[in-house]
Amino acid sequence: MAKKATKSSAAKKASAKKASAKRGGARSVTNKLLKPSSPKVLSPKVLPGELVTLLDLMRYGVSRFVEAGVVFAHGTTDPVAEAAFIVCEVLHLHPDQFEMFANARVTAHEAMRILALFDKRIATRKPAAYLVNKIYMRGLPFYVDERTIVPRSFIGELLDSHFGGDLEEDGGSLIDDPLNITRVLDLCTGSGCLAILACQSFPNATVDAVDISPDALAVAARNVADYGVEDRISLYEGDLFDAVNDARYDLIITNPPYVDAEGMAGLPRECLHEPSIAFDGGDDGLDIVRRILDRAKDHLTPDGGLLCEIGRGRDVLGDAYPNLPLLWLDTEDSDGEVFWIPAEAL
């Protein structure tokens, strides 16, 4: 039986050890097996006066990351963005402010802290978001730690580009009016970022956010509280639609686990710090996606629709559901990794 996550239970679970969870028997890899070793890496000696500005430190970080073969897939997509993100976090700047202060000088203490984070990023291979407990989506900061996957989803961008109600814009809107969206379901919510972004996109909506992991929901509860939307977002612990009984929604959004068995076997070291349950989509990566597609119609209003991210599984999904008129959506950084389907077509 699914249960609603309360503030008291979320706070209690926030201090508990990670709970192991399974979804449909698809996940058999444990976090214990996935924890990499952390060899000590000594930073090359930097002499006083050599690294003076933010730009100097960013360039140095880029060089170190490239030399060490660091992988970027956790909110930043390249060494430049990663180094700039770390520099800005130490200096309490938004990443968008880097260019403004690029030639500003840093203090010796600030430089020391930045270099220490560069070293830690390389030595541990932990995503930078875990090192600073922060990630940005659509320019907004969210808390994150190792209880949940580092959020990275194209759905946030699509909520802006395809759900504004303006049919004349490039790509057109998939809904007539965002004010008419009153109930949204976010499946596999993780840290709750997409649920919070949905609140901003649909000002008249309440959002039910579901995850099977109590640890992830504890992180989501913190983010919901940080944005003051406790009255609009309800967090539920449970297995997909089982958590919401027979409720129906105008919009379902989901970024479920979709990594296939081959991908799970080849995950980079950075990803091994994240909960494996958030990646594992079964042999072909679509175990959870199939379950969502098979039941979505029963939880959508007649004019509702499903927005689902599946990574690079487009061809596999097309073969599995050849008669479904899936509309594949592109973003600035993705090509056909998210699909939309209206309730009437399911």
- Percent pLDDT > 70 in the chain is 85
Which letter does DSSP use for residue 171 in this model? T
- Residue 206 buriedness (CB in 10 A; 0-12 / 13-18 / 19+): middle
User: Which CATH number does the domain 3-34+148-345 belong to among 1.10.3720.10, 3.40.50.150, 3.40.50.2300, 3.20.20.390?
Assistant: 3.40.50.150
The CATH architecture that domain 54-124 belongs to is Orthogonal Bundle (1.10)
- CB 92 within 8 Å of CB 135: no
CA 29 to chain centroid, in Å, comes to 20
Q: Is the dihedral of CA 38, 39, 40, 45 positive or negative?
A: negative
Q: List, for residues 187-214, the tens digit of each pLDDT value.
A: 999 999 999 999 999 999 999 999 999 9
Binned at pLDDT 50, 70 and 90, residue 19 comes out as very low
- CB 267 within 8 Å of CB 275: no
- pLDDT top residue among 163 and 301: 301
Q: In angstroms, rounded to a whole number, what is the distance separating the alpha carbons of residues 21 and 234?
A: 21
pLDDT number for residue 20: 39
Q: DSSP 3-state assignment of 203?
A: coil
Token duo for residue 82? 């990663």
Binned at pLDDT 50, 70 and 90, residue 145 comes out as very high
- CB 41 within 8 Å of CB 68: yes
Binned at pLDDT 50, 70 and 90, residue 38 comes out as very low
pLDDT number for residue 56: 97
Q: In angstroms, rounded to a whole number, what is the distance separating the alpha carbons of residues 262 and 231?
A: 42
Q: Residue 343 above 90 pLDDT?
A: yes
Instruction: Output Rg (C-alpha) for the chain, integer angstroms.
Output: 21
pLDDT number for residue 287: 94
Binned at pLDDT 50, 70 and 90, residue 34 comes out as very low
For residues 154-179, give the mean pLDDT: 79
- Percent pLDDT > 90 in the chain is 71
Beta-bridged to residue 236, according to DSSP, are 4, 210
- Residue 2 buriedness (CB in 10 A; 0-12 / 13-18 / 19+): middle
pTM above 0.85, yes or no: no
Binned at pLDDT 50, 70 and 90, residue 172 comes out as low
Q: Where in the chain is the domain with CATH 3.40.50.150?
A: 3-34+148-345
Q: List, for residues 53-92, the tens digit of each pLDDT value.
A: 999 999 999 999 999 999 988 778 899 999 999 999 999 9
Q: Residue 27 above 80 pLDDT?
A: no
How many helices (H) does the chain have, and how many strands (E)? 13, 10
- CB 291 within 8 Å of CB 240: yes
- CB 214 within 8 Å of CB 221: no
pLDDT number for residue 152: 87
Q: Where in the chain is the domain with CATH 1.10.8?
A: 54-124
Q: DSSP 3-state assignment of 41?
A: coil
Binned at pLDDT 50, 70 and 90, residue 46 comes out as confident
